[in-house]
Every structure is written in structure tokens, then in C-alpha cells.
Amino acid sequence: MYRNFLKIAFRSLLKNKVSAFINIAGLAVGMAVAMLIALWVNNELSANQHHQNYQTLYQVMMHQTFDGERSSQVAMPYPLGTELKTKYPDFKAVAMCDWGEKRALVAGNKKFLKKGHYIGTEAIEMFSLPILSGDKNPLKDPYSIVLTEKTAQAIFGKQNPLDQIIRVDNIVDVKVTAVVAEQPQNASLQFDYLLPWDLQIKLYDWVKTSATNWKDNSYQVYVQLKEGLQPENTEAKIKDVVLNHVSEDKLMQKAIKPAVFLHPMSKWRLYGEFENGKNTGGFIKYVRLFGIFGLFILVIACINFMNLSTARSEKRAKEVGVRKAIGSRRKQLIGQFLGESLLITFLALALALILVVVFLPSFNALTETELSIQFGSPAFWGVMLVFTLFTGLLAGSYPALYLSSFSPLKILKGGFRVGKNAALPRKVLIVVQFSFSIVLMIGTMIIYQQIQFVKNRPIGFNNQGLISVAISQDLTQNFEPLRNELLASGMVSSICIASSPASEIWSNGNGWEWRGSTPADKGTLFNIIATTYDYTQTMGVELKAGRDFSREFSTDATGVILNEAAVKRMGLENPVGEVVKWNGKALSVVGVIPNINMESPFQSISPLSIVFDKDWVECLCVRINPNVSSSEAMAKIGPIFDKYNPGFPFDYAFADAEYAKKFKYTAFIGNLSLIVSILAIFISCLGLFGLASFMAEQRTKEIGIRKVLGASVAKLWQSLSKDFVVLVLISCLIATPIAYYFMNEWLQKYTYRIEISWWVFAVAVIGALAITLLTVSYQAFKAALVNPVKSLKSE
């Protein structure tokens, strides 16, 4: 029996080649998109699960109140790690960690810039980092270094890296004590090397100062709870540990109120956003969004199958009648039709897998991932089997139930007609299908508008031809001769030192006072940039009032430059010359700059203070001479940097390129939405093409009679197209308010955002109608141009 069913299924496919192709192609595209998105979603949801201690690892975070708003941060004071480790037995392990930065690693005549961390000795075991070779406790010696396998190969090639000496930042020699495996792409802890935490104290005086400073939040702390302990109970014990150590500070005690808490590893990647002290999600919203996109595409593809199968029901009615007459039960017929659906689905699966293999590299580039299909994994084929069965049953359930319900008596007597009511479910499905597609079209246009709106937002400075270069001890000591030689080369028009690069602000702080301020105002958080001379000139900032720091004024060591947001927050009418205080130190306002945007382009500008500090140096900002090309300038200034910074490769970042990275996730949403929208329209139109073909075939005699009676081609085209146009118009009416609601909600998370325009919906409606008419018109004109003699002749 099953063999007979299979034969009939194949014969049905061969007999209806166009319908079969549309079904298989539509399902294949839908399944391929769903599979790609499922791979990406799984990659995100499984982040960090490769760590053996995944369930017991936490990052220590802290809530603080600034200007009446509760904020949450990962930046912790240095002594917190020692406090947790020595006084709280709930923790199995505690590891301090810095923020990670590029450092120069030199071995022989080879120089590399690699990104890594100073980290506590217990981190290797805490994070269960796979040691490929070397010491099992490789960070116990302060003068040691752990390399990843890729970094070890880059530096030493095929040579054994163990016990080799590497010079770090041209200030200290360390020995390679272990090589560890690369972390997966979706791991939160990423590095090329690890250095012992205690090495910092031996190298940097400012770290020694931080070791006892409970107000300097500059580090990260990771902890591992002992098995069986509840994090809520431990949180209650450590909540006030920072507050208790700064209890003499009334501002911290009354206004800021620091409260320590534990953030589990399971939430690091996807639940990193907090609002007013509450976890509000994070990247998980994108994961959910694309999961919905994948489901939309699959449903749209399944609707095509349902519509085409039920549309051809009249042709299969006699088959159903004969089968029922000779004893077939309804459940057998349902089984047969579901079997045919599954056959088509498995054929679509084969094509879908080919599409996934072909487009996976492009998808990886779009999502910046390293996804792959594990063809050798039984689990993969198990998932594919379940996925295919689900898709086949979803697509075939309604046609199977519908076809198997026909009455054999009516069919065999010749009285069976599908009638207008039989077409109603198909019309509903078309409306659902196009509603999904139109929502995606509208969403894509609004996302694109928002991205362009923010990209065109004035940033307050000129980031073209501006580069940032990481500082080193050699560059700090040789800054003046380096500056003079760069300016003399004609390749550089200005250069300055700063505490953060041109595209970011790395520091902030409270404790600011001004004329008329209250004690509560000291809790206001100001962004802080430290520099010396030529900052506004190098950054391309036009001063609103006053001047930049100048070598002509010795008093500038106690000067400060404010942005407009800071002036507004302080309520200063004539700020230049005003004296403000920062943590008790009096500073004179020498200049006011516009609200330069160096943080999130989607948010409002925070108050900014630029202070004069020769020792707080993190990078160099260099303005390329606008009269020379960037490539020429880089080629000529590179050797100058090498001269004064011999232990480092010349590494730089263009400010405009770094600023563009801030649009990464929004652009990612826009690109994927555009692709999904195009595919949704393509699959929907594929189904319309099939239905139009069937309807034209079904109405052959009607068209012939109309032509004989004098109907024009245009009238026949109108007659065949109007039903589809009406359905798409209904879809537009349904999709428009849905799209408006969800996109308006999406825009609310941005402080700086567009207003949704009416023309977006008009474009979507006109576009949907135009696409529909183009799709249907081919079949309509083809049917209208058929010679009526052929359509009306007796068989």
C-alpha cells in the first residue's frame, strides 16, 4: 500500500510540474532561511555553555544612583576582589580582570599587537580553559604569560613556545608557561594572551594606588560560587561591601548608595542591559526578533503549499471518490496526502541544505559569526528530521484534512463542485501571507530611516582624517620630539595626547560642584577626558566660547573645558571664568565646546568635562594633513612612530571607521530585515504565480466565451487580477496598524529617533500592489491571448 502511495505521489509531481516546482522551491527557500536563522539563534543561546562551571560563574556588578537614576555597572574597585576572596567563604574562586587591550608582544625580531588581559591566577580553572601544553597553574609566577594556540603559532611558528621569552610593551620580559585552546566565537571572554594580575602592581604605580582605593571603579571581578549555594543568599551578604568601606563619604552613603550584586554567566551575552537597577534584557531582543523572522518565512512557504494543494482539489476529487468507494477510510487518505506532503518536504530539504551550504559563508559575513553545519553529527540529522516532519505536517495538514473530507456520492454522481466557499480558506491564507510580508517591508524601511537619521546626526567634531594611536611608555617619554617631527613631515597638521581615543570616552566621575549647586548635585555623573594642549584643534572642534588649553597660560593646569550639556546642567549663564570644583579641587572654566558625540549616536549627549592632566595619558590623537592622502600620510608617519616607539608595531584606528562601528547591530538588523523581507515577498509571489496559473487554467472556457462576446485583453486581465488585488489591499489594511505599533515600540528605546511618516505605509502599499500585478499579469495576459477556438473546442 505504501509503495502504491509513493508511486502515486511521484506521478502527481510529474504530472503537475509547475505546481511541484513552486511547492518545492518555495518550501526550500523558507526552510533554508529558517535553518540559517536557527543556526544563528542556537549560537547565541548556547554562548558560554562550553565552560564547565557555566552554572556557578558570575560577574560582580554594582548599582549606583547618579542624578536620581539607578545605573548598573561592571566596573569595580580593586580591593573588592581581595575582600570577597578572604572574607566570604561562599566563593570557591575569585579572579580580578582588566578591560583587555592591545599590547606589544615582541619575540626576537618579531613584533605583534595582540589583545589580552591581566587576570587572576584562578581564572584558568574557573573558566575551564583547555590547556594544550604547559603548566596546569600557569599564572602563579608574576612574570609568566599564557598564549592561545593561534597566537603561539603566529609568534613562534612550529617552534615549541613553552619557556620562550616575550617582551611585553617593551617594559617587561615574561616566560610562556602554557598554551590554551582558542575560545569559541560566542564566548564572552576573548583573548590572545593572559598575564598574571599581580604583574600590574610590579609595573604600574597607579595600580598600587588603586589596590586600596574603594572609590576607583576601574576593574572587573569574576567569581565562582560553591556548589549548592543560592546566589540570592550570597548577594544579600555582599550587597553593602563597597558601601561599608566608604561609609565616611556622606554622598556615597546617602545619594549614590552602591549595592553589589551577582550577574550570572547565562546572562552575560544576551541580558546585559539594565534600566533603573532592573535587568531589561539586551541582545536577546534581536535573537527573539530573528527567531520570529525565521518562523514568518517558514509559515509563508507553508501557506504556498496549502493554497496550491487545496486549489487543485477539484482535479483530485474523483481520485478521493474512487478510493472511498472501494473501501479507503478517511485516515488512510489523510495518511496518503500527508505522505505526499512529506515527500515534497524532504525534496525541499535536500534543496534547502544545498542553499544553506552555498549561502552560509555570506551569512557568516553578515552576522560576523563562524557558523557551520555538522553533517557528521547524528544530533544534526535528528534535528533535521524533526524540523522536516514539523514543516511537512504543518504544510500538509490542512490539504490532507480538506481533500479527505469530500463525499464520494457527490463526486461520483458528478455533482461535486468546490464552489466559492472552498476558495475562502485560500483567500484567508493569502491575506495572512501578504500581511507578514508587508509588515516586514514597512519595518525594513523604518529601520533604514532610523539608521540614516542617526548617521546624519551632527557629531560636533571632524572625524575625517583623524586617527588614534595607543600610547606606550616610549611614546610618552618622547612625545615632544615625536610631535615636532610629525609636524615637520608635513603629513600631520595637529597632534595631542588624551585619556581616550577620538571615538570613545573611557572615564566618568562625580563629585562636581559649582556656584549654586546642592550636595545632591555632587552625585551627577560627568564624562571626563584628560588632555594637555591642542585637543580641540586636533579633534576639529569649534569652540562656542573661550579657548583651548594653551602653552601661553601657566594657569591652565587648573583649567577645565565644558560641553554645552555640562553648562546646561550647571546652569551657568556665562561659564568662561567660572570656578567649579571636582572632588574639592578648584578648576577655572577656560572654554566651552558644542555637544560632541563620542558615545552612542542613538542617545542624548552627557555632560562632559575636559581637564588638563599630563600624566593621564592613554592614546595619541593625530590629525592628518587634509592636503595629502591618508595612504601617503600613513606610509610616511609610520617610520617616525617606529623611531620613537621601537618596541611596538605602528597600529592606528581611523575615528570615522570606529564611529561607524557603533551602528553595527542596528545595521545588522536592517540588512537581515531587508533580506528576509525580499525573501518573504519572493515566496509570496511564487505562490501567487502558481495560483494565478491554476485560476487561468480553471477559467479557460470562461475566458474563451468572454473573448467571443467581445471582451478586450485589458478587460480579461482586469477580471483575472482583481481578486488578488483585493486580497493584497486587505493585507495592507491589516499589516499597516500592526507594523506601526511594533515599529513605534522599537523606536521608543532610542532617545534620538525619527517620527514614523505616512509615506512609508503608502510606499509599502503601492509596492505590494505593483509586485502583485507584475506577478499575476503574466498568467493573466497569457490566458487572455489564447485563441478562443482552442479553449472552446469539444474534447
For 274-297, the pLDDT digits (tens) are 988 899 888 898 898 888 888 888
If you average pLDDT over each of 64-68, 344-348, 355-359, 769-773, which comes out highest? 355-359
Taking the C-alpha atoms of residue 529 and residue 527, their distance in angstroms, rounded to an integer, is 7
Strands, E assignment, 192-335: 193-196, 217-225, 259-264, 273-275, 278-281
Quick check: 5 and 336 in contact, CB under 8 A? yes
pLDDT tops 90 at residue 620: yes
Local structure of 556: helix, strand or coil: helix
Contacts of residue 337, Cβ cutoff 8 Å, sequence gap at least 6: 309, 396, 399, 400, 403, 404
Exposure of 24 in the CB half-sphere (CA atoms within 13 A): 19
Give the pLDDT confidence of 370-397 residue by residue, as tens digits.
888 888 888 888 888 888 888 777 766 7
pLDDT tops 80 at residue 4: no
Give the pLDDT confidence of 392-424 residue by residue, as tens digits.
777 667 666 666 665 665 555 555 555 555 567
The pLDDT value recorded for residue 63 is 95
The pLDDT value recorded for residue 184 is 93
The pLDDT value recorded for residue 381 is 86
> Residue 795: pLDDT band by 50, 70, 90 thresholds?
very low
Taking the C-alpha atoms of residue 561 and residue 550, their distance in angstroms, rounded to an integer, is 12
Query: Rounded to whole angstroms, what are the CA distances from 68 to 63, 525, 651, 665?
Result: 12, 11, 41, 30
DSSP 8-state assignment for residue 531: E
Give the pLDDT confidence of 656-714 residue by residue, as tens digits.
999 988 888 888 888 888 888 888 888 888 777 767 666 666 666 666 776 666 667 67
pLDDT tops 50 at residue 162: yes
Partners of residue 166 on adjacent β-strands: 174
> Residue 531: pLDDT band by 50, 70, 90 thresholds?
very high
The pLDDT value recorded for residue 195 is 97
Taking the C-alpha atoms of residue 572 and residue 566, their distance in angstroms, rounded to an integer, is 9
Quick check: 216 and 210 in contact, CB under 8 A? yes
Over its C-alpha atoms, the chain yields an Rg (Å, rounded) of 34
Mean pLDDT of 208-219: 91
Which residue in 382, 296, 397, 336 sits closest to 735, CA to CA? 296
> Residue 168: pLDDT band by 50, 70, 90 thresholds?
very high
Contacts of residue 676, Cβ cutoff 8 Å, sequence gap at least 6: 33, 293, 296, 297, 440
Mean pLDDT of 231-239: 95
pLDDT tops 80 at residue 589: yes
Taking the C-alpha atoms of residue 330 and residue 406, their distance in angstroms, rounded to an integer, is 10
pLDDT tops 80 at residue 310: no
The pLDDT value recorded for residue 682 is 84
Quick check: 526 and 581 in contact, CB under 8 A? no
Mean pLDDT of the chain: 86
> Residue 494: pLDDT band by 50, 70, 90 thresholds?
very high
Taking the C-alpha atoms of residue 48 and residue 89, their distance in angstroms, rounded to an integer, is 25
Quick check: 499 and 529 in contact, CB under 8 A? yes
Of the ranges 334-338, 424-428, 519-523, 659-663, which one carries the lowest mean pLDDT score?
Answer: 334-338
Give the pLDDT confidence of 242-260 residue by residue, as tens digits.
999 988 888 888 888 999 9
User: How far from the centroid of its chain's Cα atoms is residue 649's Cα?
Assistant: 31
Looking at the chain, how many residues does it have?
A: 795
- Bigger pLDDT: 223 vs 773: 223
Quick check: 187 and 50 in contact, CB under 8 A? yes
Find where cell 535573537 sits.
287
The Cα angle at residue 334 between residues 333 and 338, in degrees rounded to 5: 120
The pLDDT value recorded for residue 344 is 81
Give the pLDDT confidence of 101-126 residue by residue, as tens digits.
899 999 988 999 999 999 999 999 99
Q: How many CB atoms lie within 10 A of CB 112?
A: 19
Taking the C-alpha atoms of residue 609 and residue 434, their distance in angstroms, rounded to an integer, is 53
The pLDDT value recorded for residue 398 is 63
> Residue 440: pLDDT band by 50, 70, 90 thresholds?
confident
Quick check: 609 and 582 in contact, CB under 8 A? yes
The pLDDT value recorded for residue 235 is 95
Cell of 528: 571626563
